[in-house]
């Protein structure tokens, strides 16, 4: 159902129902008031006649004048009858209006009677032996009510329908900003990353518009991230592949020429180097895929002393780099629940990054500190260029490289992050005070893992 | 043909340099956008191979800047970015061709020839100059229907002269075309190559313009002595 129809129905139906209720109420009220007024008129007429009759010296004379009652011609709808009470049962009509029904036996006070197939509203007043009866034809009264309803109700009904029509156009006009926004969104082409142009919208629609804008921005950011990821992945995978392919072609060319034996040899060595690079990337991607595939189950391996793992990781890295790396907080180290080779690999990646990115004269520090929440933090702190906020948020994205000039594949932090998540931990990238990066691997302590798993 | 290669990956760059040299091209390699700027400012190049993912500046930005500065050097983008929007953006951004890694060395070489040919306003690969016929991509030369064997440097020299048939080329420009950035070029090396060209294609093939440089002259059949 369209919003316009919905609004029209809700407002229209409630408006009609409310006004119908009011109209019914007014109608009933009017009827009652009218009846009261007409009843009062009946009573007043009767009392007036009674007053007149009492002026006669002897009312009984009226009858003696002739045996037939005196017919008085009256123009309006009120009938009147003056009777003489001979006894309780014998009532003789003295005078009456023309067309008046026989009201001799009507009860005193107000009453409703049927005379000659017509309903009458009667009022009977007794004064001594004189009975004065007045009556209104109910049919005439009804006609009066109908005329009243018609004269007051018709304009009301027309006004109601008129207001519904106005409502329809009003709603259409009121919904125009929505339509403008719809047209604006419909006109956007996919891939359009410009912000929404300024559109005239009432205050109520501003939040909606802002939400749409934010949604579009988030969507755009996601698309950009996705695109950057595929671009980076394509670059990292294709570059060594290109190296291999190019050098194989060079080797083929060289083999066809004379005196190019050295070139041929060099090309083959280079092609081999390309294959090695490709192999490294694939190895890391496979590691990541494996970590991803099993990330749901917490590794239930033996407790590993974090300090031991850190020192082991250092030994691996130190094999080919002469660099001052210090491990602090060895005495505070406690066992963590993590697969030993994965923990060592994660630390090795972090230390390796620190050594590659920080100047060779600055120290790299591995700091181990237990935390209050049953976790152990292992930080690798360097005094390198560090990362800004945006870089820190992107750093664990696969194929993201802090500095394309530095060797690497942009997978190290992704792997560390995956290892941390797999063990119910987290990788935090923090700004070191005084410049540099603090990469903190937070893992659950071994003795607390039972409590964590089965609270 | 003097080629400027802007590529940051050493392995790929090395492959292209060696491969194109085997194809008889003169090639210089830089690995950053700033070095590419410097190279363009100091030497004459016939064509540029540009990688987009450079460490100091995006290749597209570099290319747009070059075009804004009025460089009309034919540029072939050689990149791993294969998405359609990248290709369209690249071509609209001032590139003359777009090749995706991994590529075929023969194709790269052929495309470079097409680019220089088009830049010179020709539609066929072979240049006819009087009796002389020179096919760029194969590097073969005929004089009056007879094949002539030319060494790699001589071919480069002849190519430079034929491509700028109206212009006077200085020794420095010819050096750029023949040697690129190669070090230890002997001062009379160009003269030696000119001597050989004259011996094989007739004395008038290279005209000396005193004080300015050299110019292409008419090719004549050399009588065997």
Rounded Cα distance, A248 and A268, in Å:
7
Tell if the CB–CB gap between A246 and B102 is shorter than 8 Å: yes
State ipTM: 0.75
- Rounded distance between C-alpha atoms, residue B162 and residue B156, angstroms: 10
Select from A237, A273, A405 the Cβ nearest to the Cβ of B55. A405
- In chain B, alpha helices (H): 10-22, 33-42, 59-68, 84-92, 105-119, 152-163, 171-179, 189-201
Q: Judging by beta carbons within 10 Å of its beta carbon (0-12, 13-18, 19+), is residue B90 exposed, middle or buried?
A: buried
Interface test with A, best of B7, B12, B17 (most A CBs within 10 A): B12
Q: Do A253 and B11 touch (CB under 8 A)?
A: no
Residues of B in contact with A265 (CB under 8 A): none
CA–CA distance, B2 with B46 (Å, rounded to integer): 5
Cross-chain residue pair B80–A257, CB shorter than 8 Å: no
Q: pLDDT per residue over B32-47, tens digit each?
A: 999 999 999 888 888 9
DSSP SS3 for A97: strand
Using CA atoms of B22, B23, B25, B29 in order, give the dihedral in degrees to the nearest 10. Answer: -60
pLDDT at position A323 is 64
Q: Please give, rounded to a whole number of angstroms, the shortest distance from the CA of B216 to a CA of chain A.
A: 31
For A407, name the nearest residue in chain B, comparing CA atoms only: B9
Q: Which of B8, B22, B101 sits opposite A242 (nearest CB)?
A: B101
pLDDT values of chain B reduced to their tens digit, one per residue, 225 residues? 889 999 988 999 999 999 998 888 889 999 999 999 999 988 888 899 999 888 888 899 999 999 999 988 999 999 888 888 889 999 999 999 999 988 999 999 999 999 988 887 777 888 888 888 888 777 888 888 888 888 888 888 888 888 887 888 888 888 888 887 776 777 788 888 899 888 888 888 888 888 888 988 887 766 554
| Close Cβ partners of A280 (under 8 Å, ≥ 6 residues apart) | A409
Select from B12, B55, B83 the Cβ nearest to the Cβ of A243.
B12
Question: Do residue A263 and residue B22 have CB atoms under 8 angstroms apart?
Answer: yes
Output the tens digit of pLDDT for each of chain A's 455 residues.
777 888 888 988 998 899 889 888 988 898 899 889 989 988 998 888 888 888 876 655 555 555 566 677 666 667 888 888 877 777 778 788 877 777 777 788 888 888 878 888 889 988 888 888 888 888 888 888 888 888 888 888 898 889 889 988 988 888 888 888 888 888 887 767 777 777 777 888 888 888 888 888 888 888 888 888 888 888 888 888 999 999 999 999 999 888 888 999 999 999 999 999 899 888 888 888 888 776 555 555 567 777 788 888 777 776 656 567 888 888 888 888 888 888 888 888 898 888 888 888 888 888 888 888 888 899 999 888 888 888 888 888 888 888 777 777 888 898 899 888 888 889 999 888 888 899 999 988 876 545 444 43
pLDDT of residue A241: 92
8 Å CB contact of B53 and A266: no
Closest residue on chain B to A255 (Cα): B22
Task: Give the pLDDT score at B19.
Answer: 92
């Amino acid at each position: 159902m369209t919003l316009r129809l919905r609004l029209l129905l809700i407002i229209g139906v409630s408006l009609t129902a409310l006004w119908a209720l009011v109209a019914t109420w007014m109608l009933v009220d009017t009827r009652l008031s009218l009846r009261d007024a007409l009843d009062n008129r009946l009573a007043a007429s009767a009392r007036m006649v009674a007053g007149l009759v009492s002026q006669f010296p002897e009312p009984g004379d009226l009858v003696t004048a002739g045996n037939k009652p005196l017919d008085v011609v009256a123009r309006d709808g009120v009938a009147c009858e003056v009777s003489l009470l001979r006894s309780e049962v014998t009532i003789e009509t003295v005078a009456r209006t023309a067309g008046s029904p026989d009201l001799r036996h009507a009860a005193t006070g107000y009453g409703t009677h049927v005379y000659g197939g017509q309903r009458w509203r009667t009022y009977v007043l007794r004064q001594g032996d004189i009975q004065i009866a007045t009556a209104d034809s109910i049919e005439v009264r009804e006609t009066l009510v109908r005329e009243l309803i018609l004269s007051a109700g018709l304009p009301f009904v027309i006004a109601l329908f008129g207001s519904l029509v106005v409502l329809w156009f009003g709603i259409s006009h009121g919904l125009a900003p929505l339509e403008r926004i719809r047209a604006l969104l419909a006109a956007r082409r996919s891939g359009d990353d410009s912000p929404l142009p300024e559109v005239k919208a009432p205050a109520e629609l501003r939040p909606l518009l802002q939400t749409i804008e934010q949604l579009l921005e988030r969507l755009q950011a996601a698309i950009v991230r996705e695109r950057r990821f595929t671009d980076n992945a394509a670059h990292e995978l294709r570059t060594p592949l290109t190296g291999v392919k190019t050098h194989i072609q060079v080797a083929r060319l060289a083999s066809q020429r004379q005196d190019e034996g050295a070139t041929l040899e060099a090309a083959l060595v280079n092609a081999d180097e390309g294959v090695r690079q490709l192999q490294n990337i694939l190895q890391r991607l496979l590691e990541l895929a494996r970590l991803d595939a099993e990330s749901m189950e917490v590794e239930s391996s033996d407790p590993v002393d974090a300090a031991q793992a850190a020192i082991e990781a250092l030994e691996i890295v130190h094999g080919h780099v002469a660099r001052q790396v210090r491990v602090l907080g060895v005495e505070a180290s406690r066992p963590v629940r993590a697969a030993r080779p994965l923990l060592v690999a994660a630390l090795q990646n972090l230390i390796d990054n620190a050594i590659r990115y920080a100047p060779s004269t600055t120290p790299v520090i591995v700091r181990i500190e237990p935390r209050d929440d049953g976790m152990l933090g292992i930080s690798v702190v360097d005094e390198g260029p560090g990362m800004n906020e945006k870089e820190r948020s992107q750093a664990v994205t696969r194929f993201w490289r802090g500095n394309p000039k530095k060797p690497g594949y942009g997978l190290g932090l992704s792997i560390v992050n995956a290892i941390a998540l797999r063990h119910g931990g987290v990788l935090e990238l923090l700004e070191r005070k005084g410049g540099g990066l603090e990469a903190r691997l937070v893992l659950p302590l071994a003795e607390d893992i039972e409590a964590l798993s089965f609270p | 043909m003097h080629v400027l290669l802007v590529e940051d990956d050493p392995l790929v760059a090395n492959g292209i340099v060696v491969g194109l040299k085997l194809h008889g091209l003169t090639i210089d390699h830089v690995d950053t956008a700033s070095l590419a700027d410097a190279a363009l400012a100091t030497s004459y190049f016939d064509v540029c191979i540009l990688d987009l993912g450079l460490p100091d500046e995006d290749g597209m930005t570099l290319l747009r800047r070059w075009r804004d500065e009025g460089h009309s050097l034919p540029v072939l983008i050689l990149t791993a970015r294969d998405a359609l929007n990248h290709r369209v953006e690249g071509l609209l951004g001032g590139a003359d061709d777009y090749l995706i890694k991994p590529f075929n060395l023969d194709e790269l070489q052929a495309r470079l020839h097409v680019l220089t040919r088009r830049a010179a306003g020709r539609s066929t690969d072979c240049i006819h100059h009087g009796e002389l016929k020179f096919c760029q991509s194969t590097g073969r030369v005929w004089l009056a229907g007879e094949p002539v064997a030319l060494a790699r440097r001589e071919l480069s020299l002849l190519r430079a002269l034929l491509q700028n048939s109206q212009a006077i080329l200085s020794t420095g420009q010819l050096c750029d075309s023949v040697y690129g950035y190669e070090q230890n070029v002997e001062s009379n090396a160009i003269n030696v190559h000119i001597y050989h060209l004259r011996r094989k294609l007739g004395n008038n093939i290279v005209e000396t313009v005193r004080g300015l440089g050299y110019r292409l002259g008419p090719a004549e059949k050399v009588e065997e002595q």
